[in-house]
A and B are shown apart, each in its own frame.
Chain A
Amino acid sequence: MTTEREKDSVTGTETTGHEWDGIRELDTPPPSWLMWIFYLSIVFAAVYVVLYPAIPLGGSYTKGVLGYSSREALDVSMAQLRKAQGQYLVQINAKSPAEILKDPQLRTFAVRGGLVAFGDNCAACHNLGGTGRHAYPSLADDVWLWGGKPADIYATLKYGIRSGHDKTRTSAMLPFGTGQKMTEPQTADVAEYVLSLTKRSKDAAAVTRGAALYGRQCASCHGKSGGGDQKQGAPALNDQIWLYGGTKAEIIAQIVRPKMGVMPAWVDRLKDETLKMLSVYVHALGGGK
């Protein structure tokens, strides 16, 4: 029912003019501060629409008098960053990683920049600080699969390992446990010989048998005394560093069906200056040659 709007005698406020089963409702106005926020936000919206991109118009949109674009703002912001780092970046782009390492100031800059890039891109596999984990080599020691000179690290970073890039570092260990290459006892003998390289073998007879096999099948890549070959990424077998584990069972598994890691090529993904800073950072982790 609609009734007359009337003043409520208790509060002095008008009623809405509606009545429900004898109950009438007060028409108390919202607090004025709330209404002011409301009006001001309308004014803000109107100003915003004039200044900034706002209304879609089919294939285009109102550009706003400021001509703001988030993408152009990014360009400006990136240019500011480059300007702040300008002198360093110019030098880093001009020099090789080895030359950067020789310049103390540049080296410090590159190590800091490399640290950040390493956290974003490399740590997921090589761990923070380059300490490595099972199947992902440590970069903080002086044992290298593909060389630890600044230029070696730089090349590995650029093109990766078995990455599919045209210039990738690549090599493959044959699966000696399949086909006719080695019988099961023979793989165990070779593993025993490999253990003996780090003085962990207890079976002299097996070592003698394994040594002959090793000489024929393994030495061409891993070296006569197990020193490895960085030209083809063949790991040394005479040290305590084991990418896929150093127990006899793990060594046999690697002979039978070798695991071979993949490192992505970063040349298309990161800027050359970033790759150089990363090379310097990795070199400076402690094991650089």
Chain B
Amino acid sequence: MAGKRGNIIVRNHGKIERNVTLMAVLIAITISIGGLVEIVPLFTIKTTIEKVDGVRPYSPLELAGRNIYLREGCYTCHSQMIRPFRDEVLRYGPYSLAAESMFDHPFQWGSKRTGPDLARVGGKYSNAWHVQHMINPQSVEPGSVMPSYRHLMRPLKLKLIQAHLRANQAVGVPYTKAQVAAARGDLRAQADPEGEHDHDGLLKRYPKAVVADFDGNPAVLTEMDAVIAYMQILGRMVDFRKYKTKDLQQ
């Protein structure tokens, strides 16, 4: 295509190829343009988030569960993004909002559904069902190809929970000082409803958090407790009966 009358860059490409400084400058310019196009919109991202009530940072136990969700690669089979299509809304519930994943670092929208979408799984099943399903998925879903996650019955590592909250703080999640200070107590309290804990404080800091002995073993705080606490909050923070489409303008 590049004839004698080809464009100026093609005709002079020999010069660029022979002059390393010129080439470096031109590469820098090209990458800057691409970078600007990708990065600049991020500065205005807040304005694209719907204004809805209820979305809060994850409680320490939910956050620990979310970390395990990432570690186990759950997102490779489960999306957390209900698209605004009739079939999806009828099956899963209201479509996902940007606001609902604003405290997710990284978000878990996913791109593949080998298993069902989990964006609204919170409250859909009992804790006992989740435990049974994690240990032996085929016992409740005979056709499921999900592997067993029985290893989650091991104790949860507690030491780093405050650091996890602070790490999220560093990327913009509005955890308060009080939330960070209470993190270790909250972590235990959420999975031990009968124990001596500050449950009122936990629910004040994290409204709608499910307080329960998730895995049926109150003596040990397990990874299973954490993952199910995370499952049970998914999609429950926003009360969709309060909003119509026009309220959700981005």
Contact = CB atoms under 8 A, between A and B. Distances in A.
Interface string A14-45: 10100000000001011000000000000000
Contacts of B84: 70-71, 73-74
A124 B141 contact: yes
Nearest to A123: B141
Contacts of A60: 47
Interface stretch (A147-155, A177-185, A216-224, A259-267): A259-267
A133 B84 CA distance: 34
Contacts of B141: 124
Interface in B102-136: 123-129, 132-133
B120 to A, nearest CB: 8
B89 interface: yes
Contacts of A261: 126, 128
Interface residues on B, range: 20 to 34
A245 to B, nearest CB: 14
A236 B140 CA distance: 25
Interface string B83-100: 111100111010100000
Interface in B202-250: 210, 241, 245, 248
Interface stretch (B1-9, B55-63, B68-76, B166-174): B1-9
Nearest to A78: B86
17 contacts: A14-B3, A27-B1, A59-B44, A60-B47, A71-B95, A72-B245, A73-B84, A74-B84, A74-B86, A74-B95, A75-B245, A77-B86, A124-B125, A262-B128, A263-B126, A264-B123, A269-B124
Interface of A: 2, 5, 14, 16, 27, 29-30, 56, 58-60, 70-75, 77-78, 81, 120-121, 124-125, 133, 135, 164, 259, 261-265, 268-269
